[in-house]
Amino acid sequence: MNKNYLLVLLGITFLFSCENNPTIEGLWIVKSVTVGEEEMTPNGRWMRFNSDFTQESGNGWFQHSTGEWSLEPDNHELTVINENGLDDLNEPFKVKMSNNEMIWERMEEGLIVIVKLERIIQLPTTSGDKLLGLWKLDESVGTDNYFSTSMGTNDYLFFRWDKRFVIGTENGKVHGVYNVHGHKPEVELIPYGEQFERDFWIIDFDENTLKLKLLNTDSIVSRNFIRIHQFPQN
């Protein structure tokens, strides 16, 4: 009887320890990256470690890397290999981990690199993800290259999934490509042709409202948009 009781107790202890042993498997978001004294945290960067030692990573809704991973149990050194990326010539990261948090540390070019991650259950969204779709001009302050300053216009801005944009105004359409900054809420608009120059805007969101504020100008230039689902008729 005592022997059976001991076996049951050992089994429960083993199961409890397994359940509380932190694992790298799962989906993680990068909360901060510091290189020396400089912060270089990417927007919406995530990594997923699978039980078959494969891994994927990306930013927001965009997955851009895939490969394999290994974590040495003795020295807690993490090696990540991306099949479509560059060779990592630095030493493996030293990993400290709890159930929902993880810290990576290593030296790169004489500077200490610290990466802090948190466990998540779904992919994060970036500023670029939130931009996608059709927006109608609602309010204008200041003068820019594209939009009217008059109230009640049907000017619109359409951000496509393929990194192209379309601006529609009473004067016609402007086509181009856009780039979203990987570390800051900024978007660069690059129109086709020589009629307009590229410009940079700060991005801000409030539910279904988009606010763009022009950078590199001495005056205040901002444009507020509301999300719509049909193109307005000019």
pLDDT tens by residue, 101-110: 999 999 999 9
In a domain, 234, yes or no: no
User: The CATH number of the domain where 33 resides is what?
Assistant: 2.40.128.540
Residue 146 — pLDDT band, cuts 50, 70, 90? confident
pLDDT at 190 over 80: yes
* CATH code, 148: 2.40.128.270
Confidence at 185, pLDDT banded by 50, 70, 90: very high
Among residues 86, 174, 159, which one has the least CA distance to residue 128?
A: 159
| Tokens (6 digits) for 33 | 């990256």
pTM score of the predicted model: 0.82
- Do 176 and 104 share a domain, yes or no? no
Q: Are residues 52 and 79 in the same domain?
A: yes
Nearest to 205 by CA among 167, 159, 161, 163: 159
Counting every residue, how long is the chain? 234
User: Which pLDDT band holds residue 6 (cuts at 50, 70, 90)?
Assistant: very low
pLDDT tens track for 63-103: 999 999 999 999 999 999 999 989 999 999 999 999 899 99
116 and 134, same domain (yes or no):
no
Asked if 185 and 218 sit in the same domain, the reply is: yes
